[in-house]
Structure formats: structure tokens, C-alpha cells
Chain A
Amino acid sequence: MSADAVFCSSTVDYRGKVPVEHLDYGYIEKCKDVKYMEKILKVLRSGDEGIYPHLTTFCESHLEKLHPRSPALRKDNEVATAASLSKDEWSQIVDELKTWQEETKKTETSLKQQRVFDDLPKENIPPIRGSNCSIALSETSNANEKRSSSTCPLPRDYREWDKFDVERECEKIDGNVVKNDPPAIVTKRNPEIKTKVEAALLTQQEKLFLANREKDKGNEAFRAKDYEEAVVYYSRSLSIIATVAAYNNRAQAEIKLHHWHKAMSDCQSVLQLQPGNVKALLRRATVHKHTDHFQLAVEDLRTVLREEPQNAAATKLLSETEKLMEHPPVQHRKGKKILIKEVEEEHNSEDNEEKEAEAFLVEPSQPVGGEESSAAPAERGDMGNAQKKPHGRGDGGPHGNEAGNPHAAGHWRGKGGSADKYKVTPDSKEKVANGTNKRGSTASVQADQSSGGKGTPDGGSARETIDLDAPCGALPPPLSRLKNEGNLLFKNGQFSDALEKYSQAIQGYTDSAIDSPEDLCVLYSNRAACYLKDGNSQDCIQDCTRALELQPFSLKPLLRRAMAYESLERYRKAYADYKTVLQIDVGVPAAHDSVNRITRLLIEQDGAEWREKLPEIPLVPLSAQQHRREEPPSAEALQARAEKAARDAERKAEVRFTASKQDGNEFVKKGQYQDAMAKYSDCLKLKPEECAIYTNRSAPGPCHFLSPLCSVTLYRGVGEQSPVIWFWD
């Protein structure tokens, strides 16, 4: 750029004439100076140096490349006429105009009719401005006016010069320097604009007109990024007539202002007025996303995509939300180390987190002993172990199996490189998963949905539940909420508060009689961590034991119990637990360290035959060792597996269903209604919601044997899906 500038400025003089040698293809091609190019173009166009049409066009096109908006390129256009448009375009315009004319005619007549009643005095009009208020301007702005007359540069009276007082002018200039300027008048953001418009007295036409106008103002303010003002104007529009568009726009403005609550209520208003409004759904999804209600956001987005599969915004938002669902943002978690596995599951792939973890791992491991140091291994144990793998499982990818173990190991040993490598893998894996998920949702929402309608939820919807409930397993929302709150508190170091939350969750769990031992196990395990942190080793041991009763050989409770035992100096038991941990996963350095330490202590204490005094170390079954990651209470993995199984089952069921149905149809054709009946019943067992089967099953009935079962099923068939299909299909 600078070189070009030099190239041009060294040779050109903007004031002077353009030398003839510059009117040359080569020169013009090389010239990068817009201003000079414009000058050249001017000369070329003027024809002073001769007329070169090609060179002129060349110059124009080159200038356009350099500066497409150059004023020199503006050409006078002839005004377009109907003929210069395509026929369709023009007829469209004419049609629009015609409808508008007709509409305005109607409006006008109704306005005229209403005039009869227009004698009502308008009360809200302010009084006449203080009449005869001797116009303040001539006084207040007296000085201003004077100054203006002396500053205005053009038509300056000669008389002024006679009156010119040099000293006073100088003083004025000096004075200006010292003069304290009043502060800038920034026209305030929303200065006293009423959010309501008095429109009670107006006619419907006027109201419409006004409402539209206020909305337009809102739109303009929105475009100028003046969101607060936009909100005010939308509110004004709404106070006249509540319209979908104004609500929708206000919601958008509120979103921009991060007023989630208000935006939400606006979206709801729209959806009340017009259920299924795509924009409102989209905006509500945005709000949900930002208020961390990912599931709701996803639901809304799927509804949108069902309506408009091509909606790019929805697709984008969906993929973002799904990503967030898997790895919620770090913001709440920053700066604190995480102890609890369940918390980590949510966001274990976040970069910050990774770095923290990495940094932590590089440090030499600390001896487990006192309360202080015992925290460290606990943390590691929690972080390194079971988290990543359930994820791999959840995505159904092979990654969990093959990468799980070495991953954990790498992580644990704190070898920067390998750990790093592994941190990348789950992330990319998830991206892939996301990708497929997304594709599934956009391209084949319908398919997805329709298949989802059959029996168990599958595909996207199933995954979505998993994703959201991932940290909470099968817990109902209030409980998972309690749990998440607990996790958060724990992370923030408020252990006793967290403890309370977990206790509540456990209580709620027992009350609601849910059958999900793995979740309860996690709750106990988490509570145990709190106890451990609080130094309440007894209760910690108790909780861990409970957790282990529910889920034998889960790593974390074991590790925690071991630490608790250790801090109570019950080394033998601690040793046993650590050993168990190591049987489950050899790659837990904390356990290794502790085992070594405790061994030394026990040898000191009990002498050479210390082993004999040890409690029995349970033999960890092979399944727990190999598929260790299945054993820990990873609700997610379990659910993923369940889902997979369900899908398999469904696929099989589908096959069997079709087969049975075909058999049934065959039998019907052969007249063997009894057999057909049996086949159809089989079908119904597989898919009770299939209407056609009911109809098929009952079809033979009316003709030949009218059994009560038949009529009932017919009725059900009708009730569930109104159009009765009377044909064999």
C-alpha cells in the first residue's frame, strides 16, 4: 500500500494537469491511487486529450475495482419505467398498488363516517403554548445570535468589519481557552418517552396506523442498535394494539439487552396469540439457551425445524445448544478445582478446565495424610477417572472402549503430552456426535419424529434427554436441580451447604421411590465427599459404604472411603480400599502413593507380618475391572446403553411387526380369520399405537365373528387416530 502510494504521489500532483503519458493502459493498471484515478477518468471523459472510449471504460472498471463506491463512477440513470422491469415484477407492483388503493379507499370512507363523532374534545392535548410569551429566543439567544453573525463566514457585512474590535476579539480567543465548557449534551437514552400511548379515544383505523408507526420507530431504533429505545417504542405500539409482530420484535430487543425474563414473557404472549409462531419459538429457544434451559431450547428448535426444515438460524442455534448441553460454559466454574465427578461430566472438555487439570497434574503428587493433603488425591481421583468414559459411551462411539483406559492413565500420570492428546479426542468425538445429531435433526426431522412416535423415543429425542439429564441420571428435575446446586456449592467450597443439598436430594429420592440405585449411589458418594471435606470422616465412611452397597466396586466411593479411613488412621481398612481401587483401575496414582505410604506405616506398626492383620481385600470381579467404566454410577452410560438396547429392540420389533402384519394380511386373504387375529394381536403387542392394525384386526370381525374384543379394539383404533383405514396395508 505504502509503496503504491509512493509510486503515485511521487509522480502526480493532484492540483496540476494530468500528464498525457498517464492516460495509458499500463499506467492506469498500475495506479492504486483512487483520487488520481478519478482525476484521470475526469480528463478522459472530458475529451480534452482526445476521446478514447476503450481506455475510459478500462479506467472505469479499474477504478471500480479499487473503490466501488467512488463518486466518479456514479452515472446519471434514466428513470425506470414500467417497461424497464420484467412483466412479472411490474404486474406484482401494480397489483400491490391496486390492493393498497382499494384498502385505503375503505379506510378513508370509514374515517369519514367516524368524523360525525369526532366532536369529542381531545382532553389529552396540552394547552396552547403560553401565548404572547414574548419570544424568549430574542433575549436568551441574543448573545448567540450576535456571535453567530460574527462567525458566519459567508455573506459577511462590510459594516461588521467597521465594528471589528481587535482587542475584544483577542480577548475572546484567549477567553475561550480558559472558558469552562459546559458538558456535552448527550441526548439521554430514553428521556421521558412515555411507554404508553393514550389511544382510548381513537378509532380502530387510527389505532392501527399509530401502532404501526410506533413499531416502525422501534424497528429503526433497533437497526441503529438503540435497543432500549426500541423496547420503549414497541411497548408503545403494544399499548395501542397488541400485535404479534410488536411482541416478537420487543422480544428480540430484550434479548439484545439480555433481559431474558422479559423476552420470555413476550415470546409467550406471541405464542398465546399465535401458537407455533416460528420467530417466537426461535427467540424463546434463544432465551432458554441463555438461561441454561437447554432442553427446552432444543424442544423449541425442533418444533421450528419441523415447520421449516431449512431454517438456518434454528439449525445453528440447535447445534450450539447441543454443544452447550454437553459442555456448559465454564463461567460458573472458573477458578475452582472440581471434586465431584458429576459436575465435571458436564463440562469436562472445556478448555479452561483442561488446562487447570493439566496444570494440576503436573505437580508432584502429595502424600495422603492430613486433611489438607487428602483433598488432592480425591480431586484427582474424581477428575481423572470415570468422567470421560461415560461420555464416550454415551455417544455410542468406540472411543470409550479403546481410548478409555489409556486415556485415564495418561491423564493420571500427568504426562502432559499424552494427556493432552486425549483431551482432544473426546472433544472431537463429541463434535462428530454433534454433527450427526445436527444432521439428523435438520435433514430428517420428520423421519426422526415419526420414528420417534413409535414406542420408545429414539434418535435425537432420546439423545437429548440423555444429554440434559446426563449429570443427573434418572433423577426427576427437582432432585437433579438439588444435585446440581450441590455440585456447584461444592465446587465453590461451600461444603456444608452442598451437603445439605445432597441430603435433601437423598431425602427426596427416598420419598419419591425412584428405582435408580446408580443415582442414589452418586448422591451418597457426593455427600461423602462433602463429609470428607468437612473432616467428618465417620459420616463419610458411612455414606461411601452405602454407595458401595448400591453399586459395588464404584471407584469414587471406594477412594473416598479409603481417604476417610486413612485420616482416621485406620490404615488397614484404608489399605484394603486402596487396593480395591487399584484392582479396579491400576492407573490411580493417588492410590499407589497411599498404598506405598500405608504399607510403610503398617510395617512400622505391625512388623513383618502386617499382611496377616489386614482385613480381607475383596476380589474385584473381572467385569468390574475390564468394564470398570460401566460399573461406576454413570447414569449417562447406562441410559445410553438402555437407549441403544431399546433401539435394537425396536428395530427387531419393527421387523417382527411387519412380518406378523403381513402374515395376518395373508391369513385374512385366505379367510383364516382366527389365525389372522392372532397375528394382528402379535402386532399390537409390538406396537399398540398402530391404528391400521386395530382396524385390520377388527375388519374380519364385523363380517364373520363379532367378538367383544374386536369391537373394543375397533373403538380404540378409531379413538386414537381418527381416519379409520379400512384397507389391508
Chain B
Amino acid sequence: RLPFPSQGIIERDETPMEKEIKRLHQVDFEFSDIFYFCRKGFEAIVEDEVTQRFSSEELVSWNLLTRTNINFHYVSLRLTILWVIGVVVRYCFLLPLRFTLAAIGITSMIVGTTMVGQLPNSSLKNYLSEVVHLTCSRILVRALSGTIRYHNKENKPQKGGICVANHTSPIDAIILTNDGCYAMVGQVHGGLMGVIQRATVKACPHVWFERSEIKDRHLVTKRLREHVMDKSKLPILIFPEGTCINNTSVMMFKKGSFEIGGTIYPVAIKYDPQFGDAFWNSSKYNIVSYLLRIMTSWAIVCDVWYLPAMVREEGEDAVQFANRVRSAIARQGGLTELPWDGGLKRAKVKDTFKEEQQKNYSKMLVRNGSIG
């Protein structure tokens, strides 16, 4: 069950196995079953759903953004005119609008959190801090023309837990804070980001690490553990992949996040590439050009699934736990899982599905009276 349709190069017969084999059983013996499996095998060899989905990021129909068109080609005058109109709309109309909104959002965030930070610690302060964070997040999401669909809100991360999500872009954090309040974890930056960090930490206990502290893994784990122990604190938001991935796959999760303890709330985020490519290729673009690209896309459309909470089981080490969480996220988001060695592995679900298939097949044979 994929959220988006995948186009292939061969025509696939989607008739379910039972129907197809019944059709083939004009002669009453099992030679015909070989046809079905033979053909399926060849289809898999010519075109494999997994590899195809992973290798082709090309859209079936062009969305009028040059950046998603790998081989830019003059096709027709009408298309070019449409494209030019698109450019004008995006750069001259949408961009200034969004930029203004973003500026308003960031300023409100800084001003608001500084003001709330002046208050003494109390439930009022916490409440106001949440209001400020949520409001500014919402403004920022509007600034990106973001349309976000949240699924399974009953599984939303609770206080004292750790929220874990797949990482595609710096705006992932804003996507999530649009719907709830989290304690962010990250490194202290300079510049505008630093200003925002210093302001927000006054209002809400985000966990910002100095550069030197990050190197000391024990220190990091200790601080995070302290945070998690305090059940009144907001859930931490962590992206265990450690780097932005192009949203078709989930890479190896760093096990550090899973050693802290506590309850893990996995979240899967999947962007719709039709409206704009949210992936930040940090080796190719710096943050400013990335934000410019985001703000001149048509929109950011994505789905967020909140998955049921998970805890580390007896006898499971951090790595196994991390893999288990990763499988759950990949499965929900329709993403493939990718371990570091580049091979393609699939979740455990596949084995049981395979057995299901074969069980179904043998059930059919039995039912047809082949067995006395």
C-alpha cells in the first residue's frame, strides 16, 4: 500500500492470484500454475518495484519546475509560456509573500519567547510558551504554503517521551511543531539561528548543545536522560538518521537516541514530490539557496503518521531496537529501508507475506480436490 502511485515500464496484471489461477485451470492439472508464477517471476526480473521506486525520482508528469526536470528540453511554445507564467507567479508573487510571512513568524518567535521567558517558572509560563511556539510554527508553515495531513493523532507523543522521525529537510521540525510542542535537541549555531535558539530556550527547556559538548557522547546521553526522566517536560524531538535523506528511503538510525531509555514515539513523514522537492542536499546547496528553492516551489505537501509508542524489550539491544523502530517508520511512510552497505533489505513483514502467498496457493490446491 503505497501513498503515491508508481509508474512502471511494463503492464502488470493485477488480478489476484486466486482468480488468475482459476482462469488457467481449464486443464485440470497444475502445469498451468507454473505459468502464473513464471510470468510473475519474469515481471520481477524486468522491473522490480523496490529498485524502481528507489532509483527513479522522476515525476510522471512535469510539475513546471525546472529543478524536477532532469533533461530540460524544448517541447512546445505553449508549454514554455506556461512555464514562464509559472516562474513569474512563483518568484514575483509567492516569494515576497512567503518571505514576509516567514519574517513575521521568526520575529514573533523571538520576541514572544523572550517575553515569556521573563516570567517566573509556572504553569502559566508553560502554557504561554506552548501558545507562542504553536502560533509561530503555524505562521512559518503558512510561509512555506504547507499542507500537512496528520494521521493517527491518538498516538501523538506524550510528555517524558522521545519522538523519533525520518529526516528529509530542516523544515521537518516545523512540520511537527505545527501540531504539538516538543523540546528540540540540537547544536548551538551562530547567526539568526543562534538568536532563535537563545530566545526559545528561555521559554521552553530545549536542549541545545555546545559544539564541544556534542563530542562527548556520555554527556549528551546524560543530559537527554535527565530530560526524559522529568515527566513534566515536553517530549524530545530527535532525527536519528543524523542527516537529510531524499525521502524515498530510511537510512540507518544512530543508536544513541535509543540508549536513553523511555518511551519512543515514532513518526513517519512523507512529502509529496509533485508540489516541490523538500529534500535538502547539503553538499549541493547551502541553507539559503535551499530555503529559496523551498519558497519558490508550488507548495509543501506532506503526510505525517503518528505511530504507536514503542519501548525497548527484554534482551533487545539498542541497535535491534533502533532497527525495529526504523522498520515501523519505513513501512508506514511507504519508504524503503537502506542499511549502510547499500544493499536493499526489507522489513520482516515480507517473510510472513511470502508464507501467506504460499499458504493461499496450497489451500487452493487442496480445495480443488487435487488431494483425495
Do A and B pair up? The answer is no
